[in-house]
Structure 1
Amino acid sequence: MSRAVAVCHGPFGRVSIYDLDRPMVVHAHREAHLIFFLEGSQGLVTVNDQTVRVDPFMGVAVNPWEPHNFQPEQPGSFGLFLVVYLKPEWLAKQTMSAPGSLVFPSSELVVTRELEAWRDQAIDMLLSRHSELNLAPVLMALALASSEPIESHLASSLLHLTSESALDRRVLRARRLLEQYPSHEGALVRVAREAGLSRAHFFKLFREQVGVTPTIFANTVRLDAALDRIVLSNDPVTSISHSLGFSGQSVFTRFFTAHMGMAPRDYRRVLRTVGLPQSQASHV
């Protein structure tokens, strides 16, 4: 079964080393996403219908909200990967630019000597026993070496497309409901009904305006809420499962594993944080 080898959360987002032997469902992240192969069985990542083989020479870059999935090249065989998730607002703060001003021009990411050096430094830090991990400069260097700045007028245009003011009021209402109530599974259907639209029509409108299907958006919100509870609280997994509206812990564990590759207890077992509030009691 897939497992987490090292996990660190911080203001930058999160960075992990995963040993993966199972596929994940199609999903998306709010963060910019980088994947590097380390050893073992190589992997296949599909981003917007383009499949990239993750190997010693090629990594994967995924822009925020781009749907993607992962599967091992040899089913059932373990592969070790460095997986990075960087918050757009953190990247913008580091570069003194608008969120979204750095983009990955292609999901195919050639592993240059520069990228290899920063990747290896991140791995060394994650696997070290030091209590203080100064990961931020290393992760910023990885992001800059993987991305390209876009022109200011294009950045403004892209920001306009994703801003709340640009969304249909019915889509905006549905999105806000999902953001506020991650466990409210009926939000989209209810808003569609109140708007006088069929479920199919409303879901199409949502995907056109938000960029992902309502299901992927809802799952992303729910997963983020779960990660926040796992990282920032000492709540047991059973409590987290109940608060997020899952019918049982086993259902929550299947959901988490399908999106993250490993069970929530395994993720929490190796978790470290940098610059985040610490819970006062041990995890259960």
Structure 2
Amino acid sequence: MSRAVAVCHGPFGRVAIYDLDRPLVLHAHREAHLIFFLEGSRGLVTVNGRTTLVDPFMGVAINPWEPHNFQPLRPNALGLFLVVYLKPEWLAAQTMTAPGALAFPATELVITRELAAWRDEAVEMLLSEHRDLNLAPVLMALAQASSEPIGQDLASSLIHIAPESAIDRRVLRARRLIEAQPTYEGALERVAREAGLSRAHFFKLFREQVGVTPTVFANTVRLDAALDRLVGSREPVTRISQALGFSCQSVFTRFFTSHMGMAPRDYRRVLRRVGPMPLQACHV
């Protein structure tokens, strides 16, 4: 059964080791995302319709908001993976470049000796019992070994969320409403109705301008809100489920598991936090 082996949150984002034997639904992240195979059953990761076998020779690099999913190569066979989620603003601050100037030029990531060395160091640190993990330099080196600074024209084509100034005001309004209230299930339908657009037309406009479907966007916001509460509070899972508008805890657990591969309690069980972290806003 899928489980979290180690999880660490910090100013950089989050990094984890997962033992996975179940497929994950199509989803996206705000963060830049790296996936590396460690041992066991290999995995298939599909990004924007293109599938890559994640094995000892190939990893996957996923830009913010690129839709993707995961499935084990062999059903019900466990595979151990290192997964990294790096905040774009943290990457930009480390490299002193404008947000969006550093991106992954390709999904397929050939495992070089340098990349393998940084991957293994990250794994060793995550599995250690030391409370003060200096992960930031290792993760920065891992990101740099996974990407190359690219020109602004190409960078713009790799970032899937347009600047707010370029987004239709109706789409922007719906996006802000969802971000402000992850529990508000009817946000998109309401804005579409008020704008005089059919649901299908509005959803198409949202997908074209935001880069993901409204459903994927809303699920990402809701998952982020769940992670904020799991990491930043001691609230019981039942209360978190209620606060996020799920009808019952089992529905929340299914939602979380379908996106993360394991139950929220399992995720929290191995969770560690390092470094100064901003206070998370409570989403209700």
TM-score, L = length of structure 2: 0.95
Verify: 1:148 aligned to 2:133, yes or no.
no
Q: For the Cα contact (< 8 Å) 1:232–1:277, is it kept in 2?
A: no
- Pairing of 1:165-180 with structure 2 (within 5 A): 165-180=165-180
Contact 1:59 1:108 in 2 (8 A): yes
Alignment partner, residue 282 of structure 2: none
Displacement, 1:154? 4.9
SS of residue in 2 equivalent to 1:26 = strand
Give the aligned length: 279
Per the alignment, residue 106 of structure 2 pairs with 106
Match of 1:70 in 2: 70
Match runs of 1:1-284 below 5 Å = 1-152=1-152, 154-155=154-155, 162-276=162-276
Q: State the Cα distance separating 1:152 from its structure 2 match.
A: 3.6
- 2:118 & 2:171 partners in 1: Cα distance? 40
What amino acid does structure 1 have at the position aligned with 2:221?
V
RMSD: 1.6
Q: In 2, Cα distance between the equivalents of 1:257 and 1:136? A: 27
TM-score (norm 1): 0.95
- Whether the aligned pair in 1 keeps the contact of 2:66 and 2:160 (CA below 8 Å) is no
Distance 1:37 1:151 in 2: 30
User: How many Å separate the matches in 1 of 2:252 and 2:276?
Assistant: 25
What is the identity, as a one-letter code, of the residue corresponding to 1:170? R
CA distance in 2, matches of 1:276, 1:248: 33
Matches of 2:133 and 2:156, distance apart in 1: 34
Cα deviation code 1:118-171 (max 9, x no counterpart): 000000000000010000000000101111212245546877961111100000
Q: Is the 8 A contact 1:32 1:62 kept in 2?
A: yes
Gaps of 5+ in 2: 280-284
**Do the aligned residues in 2 keep the contact of 1:98 with 1:155 (CA within 8 Å)?**
no
Against the structure 1 CA distance between its residues 157 and 69, is the aligned structure 2 distance closer, same or farther, given a 3 Å change threshold? closer
CA distance in 1 between counterparts of 2:250 and 2:35 reads 28
Q: Deviations over 1:38-81 (max 9, x none)?
A: 00000000000000000000000000000000000000000000
Q: CA deviation at 1:207?
A: 0.2
* Structure 2 partner of 1:282: none
Aligned-partner Cα distance in 1 for 2:42–2:180: 38
**Superposition deviation, residue 275 in structure 1:** 1.6
* 80 and 159 in structure 1: CA distance in 2 versus 1, 3 angstrom threshold: closer
Please list every run of at least 4 consecutive aligned residues from structure 1 whose deviation after the TM superposition is greater than 2 angstroms. Answer: 152-161, 276-279
Asked whether the 8 Å contact 1:160–1:166 carries over to 2, the reply is no
Structure 1's unaligned 5+ residue stretches are 280-284
- 1: CA distance, partners of 2:61 / 2:191: 34
d(CA) in 2 for partners of 1:89 and 1:246?
Answer: 31
User: In structure 2, how many angstroms separate the alpha carbons of the residues matched to 1:193 and 1:26?
Assistant: 27
SS of aligned partner of 1:162: coil
* Structure 2 contact 63–159 (Cα < 8 Å) conserved: no
Matches of 2:69 and 2:152 in 1, distance apart? Answer: 31
Distance 1:244 1:223 in 2: 9
- 3-state secondary structure, aligned to 2:182: coil
Q: Secondary structure in 1 aligned to 2:14?
A: strand
Q: What amino acid maps onto 2:271 in structure 1?
A: L
